[in-house]
Amino acid sequence: MKIVCIGRNYADHARELNNPVPSKPVFFMKPDTALLHPHNPFFLPEFSNDVHYETELVIKISKHGKHIAEKFAYKYYEEITVGIDFTARDLQNECKDKGLPWEIAKAFDQSAPVGDFIPIDQFKGREILFGLKINGEWRQNGNSKDMIFSFDRIISYVSQFITLRKGDYIFTGTPAGVGKTMPDDEFELFIENQKLLVFRAK
Ligand code: MG
């Protein structure tokens, strides 16, 4: 399976990193080795001094598709959760300055903790609230209605370039409030009142 991640999908987050708000989706990928196994801690990598958390809604692709029209994209996902797009911000800034790809900053081992999936039906036609607590305090709160590109638009766009397969994940971008991860931070991620992911940084 593969993990596709959308960048800059919330205007408030694009602004906090001084990035322009995009006119079409920006995406990059993480390999399956980026998944954090359940019940494992997240080990802060030695190659970075500034690993940021980015809390994101994650959808799971439910069937094979290519060149998916936006109006049919809803047929390609049934489940949703929250995850963290861990980002070595210091390395990412170096890559950006040099115009280089982002993999060393984004695709490293354990950089994609993903929660338990829940059916997306229950949110039909309404906004989805999600958030992150660290050590019991709210750090990020998001609302799917603030996404620049909807789930359907993202699936349509990405599938023009890359075939989506059953079991692939799509991280759909972070709202504002990203920050530095410290050793012993305890992460709790929610969709509304459902706690879907818990882990600790080491
Ligand atoms: Mg992100």
Give pLDDT, residue 20. 80
Inter-residue contact 13 to 175 (CB < 8 Å): yes
User: Does 43 map to a domain?
Assistant: no
What is the domain extent for residue 73?
Answer: 3-37+50-128+143-181
Give pLDDT, residue 200. 98
DSSP letter for 10, please. B
Per DSSP, the three-state class of 185 is coil
Mean pLDDT within 103-128:
95
User: Does 124 map to a domain?
Assistant: yes
Q: Confidence class of residue 12 from pLDDT cuts 50, 70 and 90?
A: confident
pLDDT at 15 over 90: no
User: Does 81 map to a domain?
Assistant: yes
Inter-residue contact 138 to 177 (CB < 8 Å): no
Q: Which residues surround ligand 1, an ion (CB under 5 A)?
A: 54, 85, 174
Q: Which pTM value belongs to this model?
A: 0.95
Mean pLDDT within 57-79:
98
CA 10 / ligand 1 centre spacing (Å): 10
User: Does 153 map to a domain?
Assistant: yes
Q: Token digits for 141?
A: 């709160």
CA 67 / ligand 1 centre spacing (Å): 24
Q: Confidence class of residue 132 from pLDDT cuts 50, 70 and 90?
A: very high
pLDDT at 14 over 80: no
Q: Token digits for 57?
A: 């809604």
Q: Token digits for 101?
A: 């790809």
| CATH number reported for the structural domain that contains residue 94 in this entry | 3.90.850.10
Mean pLDDT within 6-22:
84
CA angle 73, 78, 82 (to 5 degrees): 105
DSSP letter for 25, please. -
Per the structure, how many domains does the chain have? 1
